[in-house]
Amino acid sequence: MITEKDISKTVGRTIKSPIRVGGLRDFKINQVSFLDFFKPFFESLEDDHYLVRGKQIVFLKTIFSEDAESIEKFHKSYFEGTVSTDVLTRWIERLNSDQKQKFDQLSMITRQRSIASFEVEIWDDTFFVERILHKGFEQDVDDFRVWKRVFTQAPSQLVENDLFFELLKKMAGLVKEIHPDIRKIQITSHFMRTISRETIKGENAPEGIHEDGAQYIMSALVINRQNIEGAESQIYEKTNSADKELVYKKILDPGEFIFQADTGEEFTFGNDLWHYVTPIAPIDVLKPGIRDIIGFDMDILE
């Protein structure tokens, strides 16, 4: 595995916060069996309407800047799905044909997802995994992502099995290597498909360079890349000048992952890491381009 020590050598200064770039093989998990088992499931993920709703609001606010305040009033309720598109009709109707075409384009689903959360308890170096069911998903961050999003729970046959539990234990093991005394970790997994079409880029990180609001993350364990270019995973360090400097980048192949400290680590380690993934576009424009990943948030509970 590549660690922050290797990256420090490359960038010529010390990155203190933990980073691990590796693959299922580093976990001694059979990559072929793992990918074969999880790949088909991504065909049946649910559409992420939150992403579309957010983009629609931003677009309307840009076009009707004089009404930005009135539009913003509906932002949260529309985003959370407690009101329908009807609240935006009065602006949508006033779009000219060019603008309407753009609006329809950004209304197309480019992300699908489902979620599953777990607690991993550690007793004398033995790991015990238990699934927990959350009602909603809220991120501890400063933008719209703090609003409540309810994502479909991943089916039990997908995530309640030895293969997935083994992965969760290995991930908890990564955190335990850094914090040997921990007893309990919460891990939330996000199964995500990003879709791009000829004129529509697929964005897995529409918020730009960001943090996820967890102590540690596996920003992506890649399951599938199909007919795409792009999706370069990037790690940034926020420096004293408040700029974010790129310290590592890699296009992850299926079976590969990046694990890194995410939020609050600047107080523990003295380095503030952020991350991003570049958009995808299809290579053959006649077909959709697809990237499937599992992302993980990890928080130490005890």
Kindly list the residues in this chain that would bind Fe ion in the complex (CB under 5 A): 212
Cα separation, 206 vs 279, whole angstroms: 9
Least separation in angstroms between CB 172 and Fe ion: 20
Q: Give the residue with the Cβ less far from Fe ion, 166 or 212.
A: 212
What Rg, from alpha-carbon coordinates, does the chain have?
20
Residue 180 zone, left/alpha/beta (φ > 0; ψ -120 to 50; rest): alpha
Q: Give the residue with the Cβ less far from Fe ion, 212 or 237.
A: 212
Closest CA to 187 of 283, 118, 287, 102: 118
Q: Give the residue with the Cβ less far from Fe ion, 212 or 265.
A: 212
Cα separation, 258 vs 222, whole angstroms: 9
Q: Which residue is nearest to Fe ion (CB)?
A: 212
Least separation in angstroms between CB 225 and Fe ion: 18
Least separation in angstroms between CB 87 and Fe ion: 29
Least separation in angstroms between CB 207 and Fe ion: 8
Q: Give the residue with the Cβ less far from Fe ion, 48 or 212.
A: 212
Least separation in angstroms between CB 212 and Fe ion: 4
Least separation in angstroms between CB 284 and Fe ion: 28
Q: Provide CB contacts within 8 A for 138, sequence distance 6+.
A: 146, 147, 148, 149
Q: Give the residue with the Cβ less far from Fe ion, 71 or 277.
A: 277
Least separation in angstroms between CB 136 and Fe ion: 18
Q: Give the residue with the Cβ less far from Fe ion, 139 or 226.
A: 139
Residue that has been written with the tokens 């916060």 in this structure: 17
Instruction: Give ∠ CA 253-256-257 in degrees, rounded to 5.
Output: 125
Q: Give the residue with the Cβ less far from Fe ion, 4 or 212.
A: 212
Is the separation of the CB atoms in 210 and 141 below 8 Å? Answer: yes
Least separation in angstroms between CB 92 and Fe ion: 30
Q: Give the residue with the Cβ less far from Fe ion, 208 or 270.
A: 208
